[in-house]
Amino acid sequence: MTVWLHEQRSSVMPYGAPDQRTMFTPDRIAIERLDGTLVAERKAPRDSFAGHQMHTPWNALQRAYFNGEALWTYLTTPFAFAMNGVRAEETEPWKEGAETWRVLRVYFPGSIETHCQVQDFFFDERLELRRNDYSVNIAGGFPAAQLMLEYTEANGIRMPSKRRAYTRGPDRRPILDMLMVSIDISEVAFA
């Protein structure tokens, strides 16, 4: 996975075949061969999710779109908070066991593709990101809580290496027996 920090752009390689990759931007998702030959593409990819719910199956381009927008958001946090049009405010703290986490509510402009335009990011006493709450708008808007575990360091920057996204209950707590996504990140480098 490669993400760009100063623009919303990402790529997964390999994707679907050893000689293929994805290319994601907010207005286009494509699957292409490593030599640049186009395999498939969709302009305005978010539109293809109209009417989708939590369990609606996705095709290869929809999975590529989700991978692109989701991992771009995850891997550029908190850098993306400084992008044009992004606004943030601190909200009420969150009690998690014996800890008190600070909560930053981030408002993304419509020009940035992400799970939803308003998301909460929870930081522990060391100011490490521990949780991200959002709604998965492309899948009917179900509420999710993503937990961050096991930090790693890359080029002097610390980031979570494990992410687990769960459906979020009405008490704002993750429903731990409803794991939706499991991501393990390794071999990170900033260039």
Is 66 inside any structural domain? no
Residues 96 and 35 in one domain: no
| 121: DSSP letter | E
Residues 117 and 164 in one domain: yes
> What percentage of residues in the chain have a pLDDT greater than 70?
100
Is 38 inside any structural domain? yes
Residue 45: domain span: 1-57
Is 16 inside any structural domain? yes
Predicted confidence (pLDDT) per residue in 149-167, tens digit:
999 999 899 999 999 999 9
What's the confidence (pLDDT) of residue 104?
98
Cα 114 to the chain's mean position, in Å?
A: 7
Residues 35 and 94 in one domain: no
Is 41 inside any structural domain? yes
Predicted confidence (pLDDT) per residue in 8-23, tens digit:
999 999 999 999 999 9
Is 95 inside any structural domain? yes
> Would you call 46 exposed, middle or buried from its count of C-beta atoms within 10 A (0-12, 13-18, 19+)?
middle
Predicted confidence (pLDDT) per residue in 169-183, tens digit:
999 999 999 999 999
Is 68 inside any structural domain? no
Predicted confidence (pLDDT) per residue in 31-57, tens digit:
999 999 999 999 999 999 999 999 999
pLDDT category at 25 given cuts 50, 70, 90 is very high
Neighbouring C-alpha atoms within 13 Å toward the C-beta of 42: 16
Question: How far, in Å, CA of 113 to CA of 141, rounded?
Answer: 14
Number of structural domains in the chain: 2
Residue with tokens 């020009």: 111
N-term to C-term CA, the chain: 13
